[in-house]
Structure 1
Amino acid sequence: MSDATAIADRSAVPEGGSYRFTAEDAFGNETEVILVPCEEDPGVRAWVNNCTHEDQRLDTGRGAAIRDGEIICPRHGSMFDACSGDCDNGEASGTTLPGVDITVEGDAVLLTDEHYDYLHDGGVNDGDDGPGSTSHLSF
């Protein structure tokens, strides 16, 4: 799959939030991924943008909630360590977020995971205006 592909500058990953992008696996499935700040080198980690407990995005388009180095699930409040992806509380306790391999070179964050190809910034459906309408009705 992917050779190293530039995703964003490390400075684009907010201290108290996340940077979201969409990648594609070998089967053509689109997956949202978030970059989050981490106190360990290289200063950022990448996780699949989904809680391990239920089908709930951690970043719904406004950045993931991060407090004290933990990503907070907006549905049930489970907290995942931003560096390891581990959860030790709430509904997702005992699980780990699926990681996505990245490398940081200088200020550039690169996607290096052989299972994913970078598609675009933002979420899977960002920029999707929905179905068109041919109706003559107006509201």
Structure 2
Amino acid sequence: MSGYRLTTVETVREEGSWAFTAREGDEDREVFLVPCVDEPDGGAAEEGVDESQPVRAWINRCTHENQRLHREGVGAVTRGGSVVCPKHGSAFDTCEGFCDNGEAAGTELRSIDIEVRDGAVFLTDDDLTYLYEGLPDDDGDDEGPASSSHLTL
């Protein structure tokens, strides 16, 4: 079995999301993990979780604008089984990464290969090399969490 051990499913569930930075070629990539919740209302941590793949990993950028979905100190905003973009309110399914509303409708987050073994989450994506837990300091390339969305977060 291969892969870099990232964290535990329990940690992702307790924190709501968990982020790390990895290298792909010459570029650093921000990645975040979220619990895969099938139920539209989210439910309790144990309800609605796909136990065959209890967490999913996504590149930490909205597909509409280059906005972080997971922010240090805040995490990813999730609601009803979706990750919500803090800028425009587009909601991406936590299990599939697909967005069917808002500015990002019809797009899908880029998934990262992970595997869960005995409650631990491993990075198994051949294109990425783990660098460190957390995200790099904000480089000023996104406009921050100011929202023009009609949704209240």
Q: TM-score, with normalisation over the residues of structure 1?
A: 0.84
- How far, CA to CA, are the matches of 2:19 and 2:94 in structure 1? 14
Shift in Å, 1:10: 1.1
2:8 is aligned to 9
1:43 is aligned to 54
84, 91, 95: which one aligns with 2:107: 95
Shift in Å, 1:16: 6.9
Cα root mean square deviation, aligned: 1.7
2:18 is aligned to 19
Q: Aligned partner of 1:101: which letter?
A: D
- How far, CA to CA, are the matches of 2:56 and 2:97 in structure 1? 9
1:58 is aligned to 69
- How far, CA to CA, are the matches of 2:65 and 2:15 in structure 1? 23
Q: Aligned partner of 1:18: which letter?
A: S
The structure with more radius of gyration:
1
SS of residue paired to 1:47: strand
Q: Aligned partner of 2:34: which letter?
A: V
Shift in Å, 1:11: 1.0
Q: TM-score, with normalisation over the residues of structure 2?
A: 0.77
**Is 2:89 the partner of 1:77?**
yes
Q: Deviations along 1:15-35, whole A, 9 cap, x unmatched?
A: 57310100100x221111000
C-alpha spacing 1:121/1:32, structure 2 compared with 1 (3 Å): same
1:132 is aligned to none
Q: Deviations along 1:67-92, whole A, 9 cap, x unmatched?
A: 11100000000000000000000000
Gapped runs of 5+ residues in structure 1? 127-139
SS of residue paired to 1:71: strand
Shift in Å, 1:42: 1.9
Gapped runs of 5+ residues in structure 2? 37-48, 139-153
Q: How many residues align?
A: 124
**Is 2:135 the partner of 1:123?**
yes
25, 31, 34: which one aligns with 1:33: 31
Counterpart contact for 1:15–1:37, Cα < 8 Å: no
